[in-house]
Amino acid sequence: MRSVPAVAGAAVLLFLTAAPAGADASVCDGGTCVLVEGNGLYVARISASPAPDGDFFGHFHLYGAGLNTTSALRHWRHGQRYTQALGRRLPAPDRICVEGVEHLEEKTVPHGRACVTIR
């Protein structure tokens, strides 16, 4: 019966650490990642970057929370970031997304879309 308190404790810890995303969260989907830096509902800055093994030639589109910006067209490598300062508190829930758009010859193709909901 010792395992019941341990399991209950682990469940409480999981509940506390799995709370809805606030500022200071990161998510990757497909070849694109979004990083939101801040504390609680305050967002200092938002960054887009390629996921590991997600290098591509193209641009990022960052939107939500009053932002609608597009990065330069270039070759993006894992670890490189397109960052926009926000510096304000957001209403909950607010959603911030980034889309990677790969440029191939005469066309563009999606390179992943990652979003974080601030709560």
Q: Is residue 114 part of a domain?
A: yes
The verdict on residue 4 lying in a domain is no
- Domain for residue 35, yes or no? yes
In a domain, 1, yes or no: no
Task: CATH number of the domain at 41, please.
Answer: 2.60.40
Do the bridges between strand 42-50 and strand 32-40 make them parallel or antiparallel, or are there none, so unpaired? antiparallel
| 15: in domain | no
Q: Say if 104 falls within a structural domain.
A: yes
* pLDDT digits (tens), the chain, 119 positions: 444 444 344 333 333 222 345 677 899 999 999 999 999 899 999 999 999 999 999 999 999 999 999 999 999 999 999 999 999 999 999 999 999 999 999 999 999 999 999 98
Within-domain flag for 7: no
**Domain range enclosing 54:** 20-118
CA distance 50 to 3: 42
